[in-house]
A and B are shown apart, each in its own frame.
Chain A
Amino acid sequence: MKTKSILAAAASLGVLTLGVLQATPAQAQAMQHSTEPPFSHEVFTGAVLFEKLEYGWGLDGPNIGRWDGQAWYGGDVNRVWLKTEGETSRNGTVEGAEVQLLYSRLLGYYWDFQAGIRYDIRPRPDRFYGVIGLQGLAPGMFEVDVQGFVSEKGDLSARAEVSYDAYITQRLVLQPNVEVNLALQKVPELGVGSGFNDVEAGLRLRYEFTREVSPYIGVSYERKLGDTARYARNEGEDVGGWAFLTGIRLFF
């Protein structure tokens, strides 16, 4: 189990994460003592969650498809995460698509420290990023995911996402969410300005037929901001607007 978790750590982000690993008393202790009973074990499990798998009808803009999913595997404290999100544009071509591979370590009761790499397949040119993040449950039962990125060119950016599951009945759930992107430097070739790039807010009403499968409807509002909006206008692209959504949430 120990080797497994260490392998997982090394696989995702060598130096950085190993530093964290060694600093913690738990691992240090586990290594010190060889009295571990032979049949003791940690339960290793995983899960896949597609929070968004949806199609949106733009009320004053183009229709879009969107996905946002994550998966994890691991033990109590150390886990590997895979996250992906992306968007398709009006003609079905993929406009943005990213994948993240992260090592995740439990910090405190409710929070995971995460670090790893992100690869943006779209938009072109494709680009690698280093990722550091914090994901967890904030007081009030808000799901929070905050990430900082440094691109292979050295550009710094960040993303914050907050959502809340309001149970109307035992199966009907209203989920408001907000996502904000910001950048420290402008990256014109990707159409990114400095400062706040965009904000996206959504309100999704899902029905949990089972915990695994819950179709939903909702509305979302998206808006590019500042220079990012200017770049988009120059490209003849939309800067955002309202959309009506239908989708399905999958959790396995």
Chain B
Amino acid sequence: MTNDKLSRRQALGLGVAALAFPAAPAALAQPAVGRAMPREFNLTLSHVTANITGRRRPAMAINGQIPGPALRFREGEEVVINVANRLREHTSIHWHGLILPSGQDGVPGISDGFQGIDAGSTHQYRFPLVQAGTYWYHSHSGLQEQSGIYGSIVIDPATPEPFGYDRDYIIQLSDWTDETPSHVIANLKRDPGYYNYNKRTLASLVGELRRAPDGAARSAIVSDRIMWGDMRMDPTDIEDVGGYTYLVNGHTPAQNFTAVFRPGETVRLRFINSGAMSHFDVRVPGLEMTVVQAHGNNVRPVTVDEFRIAPAETFDVLVRPRDGRQYQVLAESMGRQGFAQFSLATQEGLPALPLPPHRPRPVLTMADMGMNYGPKGLDRGTPMPEVDAPGHVAPMDMGGMDHSAMPMPAGGSQGMQHGAAGGMNHGSMAGMDHSSMAGMDHSAMPGMNHAAMSGMDHSGMQGMDHSSMAGMNHGNMPGMNHGAAGAGAMAGMDHGAMGHGGMGHGGMAMPDPLVNDVGAPPGARVLSYRDLRAARPLYPVREPTRIIEIRLTGNMERYFWSINGNSFSQAQPIQLHLGERARFRFVNETMMNHPMHLHGMWMMPQVGNGAENPLLHTVNIKPGSTVDVDIEADAPGGWAFHCHMLYHMETGMMRKVSVVSAPRTAAAR
């Protein structure tokens, strides 16, 4: 893919084009570059015929291959990438996760001055590499990513990494369909359950009733069915699209991509999820994995047995196979529709090990729906666009406050006299740990807002018996707002309708917004964002200047998706001020997972690790959950912000984020 002679010759030929694109603006410090001439890469996009399932189907390829070539960069260098569009349509290439000037980010109509690459023309990207790690690139035009326009990026670090390994493999997961992507979207539009052949049926009802131990269980089964029917929702809708063949570096499970090792070696596996619509649950029976990088950034090594990887995420793991046997690496789709798999073996060419039976398909519960019983037409998702102020702002109070660090005299209420804090907002207490608190009295709190207490751990609390607290009946609390400020749409649980009097927090069945239920056997260690601690935090801890509410909304019946009720075609940009630290409060009001990706700036989910909260480019927001994510707005310009489920983005779950230097009040119109 890189040929020095060729690239030099082309550099001459494209000299004029290079001049037309000014070098990176001064906003990004240009690193000292060792060589005068930036290294040059050439990517050519074209229509191809692919045969992945035994049928010859139209596809799109980069340099004739799917996935496209792996781009190997070096931290600190500047690169020039010539993208030649031999497609019969408009295209673009976005460098996913790279910190670069907006104009080089490659999103037509959003990146500064970039309008896409016309059919037949060549576009030259040029940017410095200010980071190291595993990333990827893909088309940001229409549904071309699904057709094959994606590839991997590895940036070798300028300084040695804090971990060692003997072998290094890119593991790019993806999902292939024989249907054309436009056909897929049309099918979803006319019947959102088009691909779901795991619906609840009368036959499955009979089976469930037969297995039920007693009459109470049977009536629970029936009333659950009725409840979902009343909600007009389908709890078996886990993955929207079916008919996928799951690939590892373009290889089907039967083709068995093989990563070769010698016993005793440490193997680095760079997992990249380039699936258009697929979350994968990854495991290697017989081996544990040590996660050393998340989304390209070093994390404190954490050893796990399994992890879930959402679309667009990357995780680098180390494995140490001791014996010379063949290991099977399994990436099972979240909806259990299939596996991507490859082998770790001492030699190439071995047949694939037989795939295990699928784990049980997940079925959504009422808890996954945020305990919000039924849409009543309007409060589930947002059916119709609503007035959406740019940068919908929630008031800041107690943001980022760490209760565990507060001086807390035992038994005394003066240290933690919440009763005095009228209109208290617990919203941003992500990862709050109450375990060391004693003698806390919540009784007289008016206007308490629990909105976004993601990852709150009440389990170890002592002396905090809510049940005996007068006025701790959540239903009785005056002015208590659990949901989104202003809009009044509660994605979180509705305490008003639940008798909480006498209910301990330990008994609450709210799903943890950060823990993935992958169906692992008991005792297995499953990665959560909470396990990720940035090895080298980029930003000091500071208070966010604003909380911007990002409600993830949509209409499953119509299959269109939106943010704060507005599809992209109707939405205004979200404005951030250069230098501010914004807190995006994600409230997922839908029943689907949404891996939300912000271009150009790191997202720091507030998982309770303080300054070591991980730096991610994509944060998966589970159904019915609320997660706070901080963003240091340090990159001026226009940036895309969207769900990385391709068909969610295409049907509206996308925004432009404008980082502007002039502070403007959000109310200004």
Contacts and interface: CB of A to CB of B under 8 A. Distances in A.
Interface stretch (A9-17, A83-91, A106-114): A106-114
Say what secondary structure dominates the interface of chain B: loop
Contacts of A169: 201-203
Contacts of A139: 229-232, 374
Given A25-B387, A110-B377, A37 B109 contact: yes
B569 interface: yes
Interface string B73-116: 00000000000000000000000000000000000111000011
A145 to B, nearest CB: 15
B388 to A, nearest CB: 8
Nearest to A174: B202
A167 to B, nearest CB: 4
B648 to A, nearest CB: 12
Interface in B561-586: 567-573
Contacts of A26: 384-385, 570
B569 A41 contact: yes
Contact of B651 (A38, A43, A46, A168): A43
A211 B191 contact: yes
B102 to A, nearest CB: 14
A154 to B, nearest CB: 34
Given A39-B109, A110-B557, A169-B201, A140 B572 contact: no
Interface string B178-200: 00000001110111001001111
B109 A47 contact: no
Interface stretch (A27-35, A95-103, A191-199, A226-234): A27-35
Interface in B486-519: none
Interface in B635-669: 650-652, 654, 656
B369 to A, nearest CB: 14
B555 interface: yes
Contacts of A35: 572-573
Contacts of B186: 45-47
Interface in B355-384: 374-375, 377-378, 380-381, 383-384
Given A141-B232, A168-B202, A47 B189 contact: yes
A187 interface: no
Contact of B189 (A25, A43, A110, A140): A43
Say what secondary structure dominates the interface of chain A: loop
Contacts of B567: 42, 76
Q: Find the residue from A38, A109, A141 having the highest chain B CB count within 10 A.
A: A109
A170 interface: yes
B232 A168 contact: no
A167 B202 contact: yes
A108 B378 contact: yes
A251 interface: yes
B558 interface: yes
A45 B189 contact: yes
Contacts of A106: 383-384, 555, 558
A108 B377 CA distance: 6
Contact of A109 (B230, B378, B387): B378
A197 B464 CA distance: 67
A1 B569 contact: yes
Q: Find the residue from B194, B197, B558 having the highest chain A CB count within 10 A.
A: B558
A36 interface: yes
A77 interface: yes
A16 B109 CA distance: 36
Given A38-B115, A42-B567, A109-B383, A251 B190 contact: yes
B294 to A, nearest CB: 30
Interface residues of B, number: 51
B517 to A, nearest CB: 24
Contact of B380 (A38, A109, A170): A109
Interface string B43-64: 0000000000000000000000
B560 interface: yes
Given A42-B567, A43-B650, A109-B557, A29 B202 contact: no
B488 to A, nearest CB: 16
Contacts of A146: none
B386 interface: yes
B189 A38 contact: no
A137 B384 contact: no
Contacts of A29: 385, 387, 570
Contacts of B654: 40
B338 to A, nearest CB: 17
B194 A211 contact: yes
A166 interface: yes
Contacts of B571: 40
A interface, how many residues as a size bin?
A: 35 or more
B230 A140 contact: yes
B561 to A, nearest CB: 10
A43 B560 contact: yes
Nearest to A137: B232
Contact of A45 (B190, B380, B555): B190
A148 B650 CA distance: 36
A47 B190 contact: yes
A115 B72 CA distance: 59
B326 to A, nearest CB: 35
A118 B199 CA distance: 37
B202 A77 contact: no
B569 A40 contact: yes
Given A76-B567, A110-B557, A43 B185 contact: yes
A83 B667 CA distance: 46
A171 B199 CA distance: 10
A155 B653 CA distance: 46
A95 B203 CA distance: 40
A138 B421 CA distance: 44
A77 B569 contact: no
Interface string B183-227: 001110111001001111111000000000000000000000010
A25 B201 contact: no
Given A76-B652, A137-B557, A140-B229, A40 B568 contact: yes
B201 A168 contact: yes
A141 B235 CA distance: 13
A108 B565 CA distance: 12
Interface string A209-226: 001000000000000000
Nearest to B206: A168
B184 to A, nearest CB: 11
A141 B194 contact: no
A26 B201 CA distance: 38
B230 to A, nearest CB: 5
Given A39-B108, A167-B201, A251-B191, A109 B560 contact: no
A26 B560 CA distance: 15
Contacts of B232: 109-110, 137, 139-141
Interface in A160-183: 166-171
Nearest to A140: B229
A151 B110 CA distance: 51
Given A45-B189, A140-B230, A141-B229, A168 B203 contact: yes
A33 B191 CA distance: 32
Nearest to A77: B384
A38 B115 CA distance: 9
Contacts of B386: 25
11 contacts: A26-B385, A37-B656, A38-B108, A42-B560, A43-B185, A46-B186, A76-B558, A107-B384, A108-B383, A110-B383, A251-B191
Interface of B: 108-110, 115-116, 185-187, 189-191, 194, 197-203, 226, 229-232, 374-375, 377-378, 380-381, 383-387, 555, 557-558, 560, 567-573, 650-652, 654, 656
Given A29-B387, A139-B374, 8 more contacts: A39-B109, A109-B377, A109-B378, A140-B226, A141-B229, A141-B232, A168-B201, A170-B197
Interface of A: 1, 24-26, 29-30, 33, 35-43, 45-47, 76-77, 106-110, 137, 139-141, 166-171, 211, 251
Nearest 10 A/B pairs, CB to CB: A39-B109, A47-B190, A109-B383, A26-B385, A76-B560, A45-B189, A167-B201, A38-B109, A37-B109, A139-B230
